[in-house]
Amino acid sequence: MRFDVITLFPEMFAALTDYGITRRAHEQGLWRLATWNPRDFTTDAHRTVDDRPFGGGPGMVMLAEPLALAVEAARGAQATPGRVIAFAPAGRPLTDARVKEWSSAGALTLVCGRYEGVDQRFLDACVDEVVSIGDFVMSGGEIAALALIDAIVRQLPGALKEASAADESFAAGLLDGPHYTRPEVWRGLGVPPVLLSGHHADIARWRREQALRITAERRPDLIEAARRQNLLSAADEKVLRVVSPGRKARI
Ligand code: SAM
Q: According to the model, what pLDDT value does residue 251 have?
A: 37
The DSSP output letter for 194 is G
Residues near ligand 1 (Cβ within 6 A): 87-91, 112-114, 116-117, 132-134, 136-141, 144
198-207 mean pLDDT = 98
Pocket mutation for ligand 1, best pick of 87, 114, 118, 149 (most atoms within 8 Å of C-beta): 87
Say whether 169-251 and 2-155 share the same fold.
no
Residue type for position 71: V
Q: According to the model, what pLDDT value does residue 104 have?
A: 96
Round the average pLDDT of the chain to a whole number and report it: 95
Full DSSP string of 142-181: HHHHHHHHHHHHHHSTTSSSSS-GGGSTTTTSS-------
Residue type for position 47: R
The domain segmentation of the chain, as residue ranges, is 2-155, 169-251
Which range has highest mean pLDDT (154-163, 198-207, 238-247)? 198-207
Of 37-41, 60-64, 78-82, 243-247, the poorest mean pLDDT is in 243-247
Q: What is the pTM of this model?
A: 0.94
Query: For residue 113, which of 4, 5, 7 has the smallest C-alpha distance?
Result: 7
Decide which of 244 and 108 is more confident. 108
Work out the number of other CB atoms within 10 angstroms of the CB of residue 2: 18
> If you classify domain 169-251 with CATH, what class do you get?
mainly alpha
Q: What is the pLDDT of residues 45-58, one digit of tens each?
A: 999 999 999 999 99
27 φ, ψ (degrees, to nearest 5): -65, -30
Query: For residue 5, which of 16, 137, 23 has the smallest C-alpha distance?
Result: 16
Question: What is the architecture, at CATH level 2, of domain 2-155?
Answer: 3-Layer(aba) Sandwich (3.40)
Question: Please, are residues 106 and 2 in contact by the beta-carbon 8 Å criterion?
Answer: yes
Helices 220-228 and 200-218: crossing angle, nearest 10°? 110
- Kindly report the protein residue whose alpha carbon is nearest to atom 9 of ligand 1: 139
Q: What is the pLDDT of residues 63-91, one digit of tens each?
A: 999 999 999 999 999 999 999 999 999 99
Name residues whose C-beta falls within 8 Å of residue 71's C-beta, 6 or more positions apart in sequence. 6, 36, 84, 109, 111, 126, 127
| Cα–Cα distance, 17 to 4 (Å, whole number) | 13
Q: What is the pLDDT of residues 117-166, one digit of tens each?
A: 999 999 999 999 999 999 999 999 999 999 999 999 999 999 998 666 77
Q: According to the model, what pLDDT value does residue 130 have?
A: 98
Cα 113 to averaged position of ligand 1 atoms, centre (Å): 7
Give yes or no for residue 250 having a pLDDT over 60.
no
Count CA atoms closer than 13 A to 212's CA, side-chain side: 23
Q: According to the model, what pLDDT value does residue 162 have?
A: 67
Give yes or no for residue 44 having a pLDDT over 90.
yes
Closest atom of ligand 1 to 59 CA is: 1
213-241 mean pLDDT = 97
| Cα–Cα distance, 93 to 135 (Å, whole number) | 9
Query: For residue 3, which of 110, 153, 112 has the smallest C-alpha distance?
Result: 110
